Amino acid sequence: MAFEVGTVVDGTVVNITNYGAFVELSDGKVGLVHISEIAEKYVTNIRDILKDRQQVKVKVLGLNEKGYDLSIKQAERKTPPVERKPFVERKPFDKGPNKRGKIKLKSRTLGDVEHDSDRRGESLSFEDKLARYMKESEERLLDLKRNVEAKRGKGRIR
């Protein structure tokens, strides 16, 4: 009799190792409860929580060629685990329009960056945004290069 994934069953701890505990289920098969699936808190020593021949409730996470993948932590949960929201890219902090009708955005890597505000609600395509970014980057690099060359005194005879 094989247990389905998600089923909570009773089992007996038969062996404890540094990386987890082996639990024998009622069908005679043995499954592994990994150390990360034993308790909600961080576990350094499994023997502090589990003992040999201890009766435990486990949740079946999966079945592989060696036996079951089990979890004590998920079997004890009263509520289902919280689903995480997918990553959403956040827009930089908007400081508001400046004197020239542009919006000044704060960037961690580039400092203050000015972008044209689109008053008509039209959005630029990715290619247009990329072209604008490349142009602004080249202008900044050229300014930096001129500044460094001026400090070095390029063209002056020493």
Q: Is 20 exposed, middle or buried (0-12, 13-18, 19+ CB in 10 A)?
A: buried
On whether the CB atoms of residues 68 and 60 are closer than 8 A, the answer is yes
On whether the CB atoms of residues 92 and 80 are closer than 8 A, the answer is no
Fold exhibited by the domain 8-76:
OB fold (Dihydrolipoamide Acetyltransferase, E2P) (2.40.50)
The phi, psi pair for 16, rounded to 5°, reads -120, 130
State if pTM tops 0.75: no
Q: Where are the domains of the chain?
A: 8-76, 94-152
The bridge status of strand 30-34 relative to strand 67-71 is parallel
What was the pLDDT predicted at 27?
86
pLDDT digits (tens, 9 = 90+) for 60-88: 999 888 889 999 999 887 656 556 666 65
pLDDT digits (tens, 9 = 90+) for 104-126: 555 555 545 445 544 445 678 88
